Structure 1
Amino acid sequence: MNIEDRLLAGDKIACARLISMLENNDKEAEEILKKLYHKTGKAYIIGVTGSPGAGKSTLTDKMAKKLREAGKKIGILAIDPTSPFTGGAILGDRIRMTDLSLDEGVFIRSMGTRGNLGGLSKATSSAIKVLDIFGCDYIFVETVGVGQSEIDIVKMADTVLMVLVPNMGDDIQAIKAGTMEIADVFAINKSDLDGADKTKLEIEMNLDLNDSKAFRPKVIKVSAIKNKDIDTLLEAIFEHRDYQMRTGNFDIRRINNARQEILDLAKEDLINLIMKKAVENDFLNTIVNEVYKRKLDPYSAKEELLNLLLN
């Protein structure tokens, strides 16, 4: 049985293998996704973002277990910083989700960012498609937690969950990071600590000032470590899902995400093509030296690179 048939049959090893192939830019894996793309679009994608140390992995673990109790098949993509030595994921969230990793109805994958900005791995979008084909009902994408550049999650997720904690320096950590606007639901984790009520109030006040969004995000206090109010948090996520389905925003969001993905893929191939042309005959080094010696400006150098491709 080939890898695509095994994937459709729910083989975890085939699923893991295909994601690895995609991370390594394997053309065979890309062809498999082309062939099976019509089977995607069924899973609901939940992005889990927030500051490092906010408890995103533990909270994802608890939500996944609640959904498993309801008989749902779960995929979890945990995006971690990349080891400079191996190129692999440093943190290894599967270690923190031991119970789930043994569950046949859950697939967990740690993926290194491999230097990709935006808090996500380059192959995240492709991995989401693999898990969708694999038959997952819900896919959690937990970002690395890098602050301002983490807004890329909104390009992939149907609902973005922002995880905050009390007493982490700034009263509302996400405001200065520029990510407040992307959240569809807020979770104040470790809510048993002092300051949780104050943080909730400040987020609510900030939402009052920003009334441009038609859907007002819910702010839920939870404690992942104590498994407290996880049901309430999931209800808030489902409320956002139902709102999107009811208003047609779900389709609009996915159309916008598809547009962005096409442009990103085209941009990547164009850059690779330009670089391939530029290194031929040492053209790139030549114009770099000319810019360095002030014989050529960067804007004209850029035009010469583009002309090289067009010609």
Structure 2
Amino acid sequence: MQKWLEKKDNLTLGKLLKEVENQTPLSTEILKSCYSNESKAHIVGITGPPGAGKSTLVSKLCKAFATQGLKIAVVCVDPTSPFTNGALLGDRIRMQELAKLPNVFIKSLATRGNLGGLAASTADVVQVFGAFDMDLILIETVGVGQIEFDVLEVSDTVILVNVPGLGDSLQTLKAGIMEIADVFVINQADRPGADESVKDLRLMVRESGRKDWDLPILKTVATRDEGIKELVEQIFNHKSFLLRSGSWKEKRQTRNMTRLNHMILQLLTTKVDELTQTDEYIKSQIQDVRSGNIDPFTVSHEIVNQLVSK
């Protein structure tokens, strides 16, 4: 495994990512080998409602960073069809021109039913990218609005993208998603209502009372490269702030604990599945729950107690 990591070429990276995404028996060993608390990668999550132009913005950002000689990974998370489990959007197709850049690696992931805006394997994929000495990892989330908070758990910097004429989106922001953002972007700012949207956001920022970081609100027209330079500058500014304030280290510590908790829950779920499929007594109890002959509270405690006793 260590020999694979020493190669650090795109072919090896692609193979490792495939193993990790599919959660093969080899994936755990890969993640153990890739684990490092000293990854230099700046992880930038880009979120916002569908139709805000996130993919175009990510593409333009990636080009801008690539010209500075940075080694970049792009993680595009696509929504999944409930019928085929296939990805509904083609970010990989839309970003074909980025694939031509030697210092850019693109990975497309499907949510596979995960409701937090990210695929379940996103954190694992980010970890592998970190082991391959990426300078910057851009994560484009699905774009599902109010439930899109998973990006906070894996990102150093969160960019919230919206469009002019916020309307109901203002309610989404008030519902909590605004609290996770470090940079606000009004994309497609050549449309009517851009200035009003900026004013609304500034008012909301003032009301939020956040004082640790001066939240920037930018206007972009990604299709014309307008505002991209300013956005790149603010991303660098936020990284400097994180390093200066100690938040860079704190975020990684919090991320480590979050992943530990997720992994414990995942392992417990696997063990519960094994028990419910192999233990005849538990199987009969579950059938009684299904028939309404016994309450699920009693049986759930029995299952947990069996796991603990083992």
Q: TM-score, normalised by structure 1?
A: 0.92
What residue number does 2:147 align with? 149
Moved more, 129-138 or 260-269: 129-138
Structure 1 residue 284: Cα displacement: 5.2
In structure 2, relative to structure 1, the CA distance for the partners of 1:118 and 1:170 (3 Å cut) is same
Structure 1 residue 124: Cα displacement: 0.8
Of 10, 13, 16 in structure 2, the residue corresponding to residue 12 of structure 1 is 10
Deviations 1:239-294 (A, max 9, x none): 22111111111111110111001110111101110121122245555334434555
Q: What root-mean-square deviation, in Å, do the aligned CA atoms of Structure 1 and Structure 2 show?
A: 2.0
CA contact (8 A) 1:75 1:139 kept: yes
Deviations 1:153-188 (A, max 9, x none): 111000001111113542526325531110011111
- Equivalent residues in 2 for 1:148-297, closer than 5 Å: 148-167=146-165, 169-170=167-168, 172=170, 174-175=172-173, 178-283=176-281, 285-292=283-290, 294-297=292-295
Instruction: Give the partner amino acid of 2:28.
Output: E
- SS of structure 2 residue aligned to 1:279: helix
- SS of structure 2 residue aligned to 1:38: coil
Are 1:91 and 2:116 an aligned pair? no
What residue number does 1:101 align with? 99
Distance across 1 between alignment mates of 2:281 and 2:214 = 53
CA contact (8 A) 1:148 1:178 kept: yes
Deviations 1:116-161 (A, max 9, x none): 2211111111111111122211000111111222101111000001
What residue number does 1:66 align with? 64
Q: Which runs of 5+ in 2 are unaligned?
A: none
Of 128, 131, 136 in structure 2, the residue corresponding to residue 130 of structure 1 is 128
Distance across 1 between alignment mates of 2:217 and 2:21 = 35
What residue number does 1:121 align with? 119
CA contact (8 A) 1:75 1:140 kept: yes
Distance across 1 between alignment mates of 2:179 and 2:211 = 9
Deviations 1:92-128 (A, max 9, x none): 2121112111111100011001112211111111111
Distance across 1 between alignment mates of 2:11 and 2:83 = 25
Instruction: Give the partner amino acid of 1:280.
Output: T
Distance across 2 between alignment mates of 1:127 and 1:214 = 30
Distance across 1 between alignment mates of 2:285 and 2:144 = 34
Moved more, 115-124 or 291-300: 291-300
Deviations 1:177-208 (A, max 9, x none): 53111001111100110111111111111111
Distance across 1 between alignment mates of 2:289 and 2:176 = 34
In structure 2, relative to structure 1, the CA distance for the partners of 1:171 and 1:259 (3 Å cut) is closer
Structure 1 residue 23: Cα displacement: 1.4
Q: Which runs of 5+ in 1 are unaligned?
A: none
Distance across 2 between alignment mates of 1:110 and 1:250 = 26
CA contact (8 A) 1:8 1:133 kept: no
CA contact (8 A) 1:39 1:133 kept: no
CA contact (8 A) 1:187 1:222 kept: yes
In structure 2, relative to structure 1, the CA distance for the partners of 1:171 and 1:30 (3 Å cut) is closer
CA contact (8 A) 1:40 1:133 kept: no
What residue number does 1:27 align with? 25
Instruction: Give the partner amino acid of 1:232.
Output: E
CA contact (8 A) 2:71 2:134 kept: yes
State the percentage of identical aligned residues. 38
- SS of structure 2 residue aligned to 1:303: helix
Distance across 2 between alignment mates of 1:136 and 1:171 = 34
Instruction: Give the partner amino acid of 1:72.
Output: L
Distance across 2 between alignment mates of 1:143 and 1:286 = 42
Instruction: Give the partner amino acid of 2:124.
Output: S
Paired residues, number: 309
Q: TM-score, normalised by structure 2?
A: 0.92
Moved more, 275-284 or 208-217: 275-284
